[in-house]
Amino acid sequence: MPKLFNIKILTPVREYIDSEIEAVTISAPDGKVTILADHAPFVMPVVVGVISMKKDGVWQDAVNTEGFMEVHHDGVLIYVQSCEHPDEVEARLAEEARRRATEELRQKQSMSEYKQSKLELARAMAKLSSAKKS
């Protein structure tokens, strides 16, 4: 039987999950990171993507926005701006957001507007990817 650890995902408006799991994979600025029980403690930023959690041998996904993750001896805390189950994602709205962000990226923008458009595009793409899997 795999060793379990606690995961808690918090957003400003809700607690997404508080459960015992076998593993979690999350997107970091340099790529994906997988955490298992008894991992060394650390803190890292989290980028827009999909959080995959393994529970009872089954991987479950959640779409997340930017934030940070804290790994400690008791488990993992993930703080993100938003987190949604793939069933909560409305594919039509995500596709509209993708189109809007793509169009904004084609226009001449300030650096901050460009970064915001890139972030909106990343969010939309993560939602669409997750919605297609479910």
CATH code where residue 79 lies: 2.60.15.10
Query: What pLDDT was estimated at residue 1?
Result: 77
- Residue 35: give the domain boundaries: 5-84
Q: What whole-number distance in Å separates Cα of residue 108 and Cα of residue 4?
A: 49
Q: How far apart are CA 5 and CA 40, in angstroms?
A: 13
Q: Are residues 118 and 68 in the same domain?
A: no
Judgement on whether residues 32 and 60 belong to the same structural domain of the protein: yes
First to last CA, the chain: 27
CATH of the domain at 95: 1.20.5
DSSP E strand stretches across 1-134 = 5-10, 15-21, 23-28, 31-36, 42-46, 49-55, 58-64, 67-72, 75-80, 83-84
pLDDT of residue 75: 95
Q: Which pTM value belongs to this model?
A: 0.71
At 95 the pLDDT is 64
Please count the structural domains in the chain.
2
Q: Is the domain of 57 the same as that of 123? A: no
Together in a domain, 100 and 34: no
pLDDT of residue 132: 60
| Pair 130, 52: CB distance under 8 Å | no
From the first residue on, what is the mean pLDDT of each consecutive set of 10 residues in the chain (134 residues)?
Answer: 93 94 95 95 94 94 92 94 75 68 73 75 68 58
Give the Cα separation of 64 and 62 in Å (integer): 6
Q: What is the structure's pLDDT at 92? A: 65
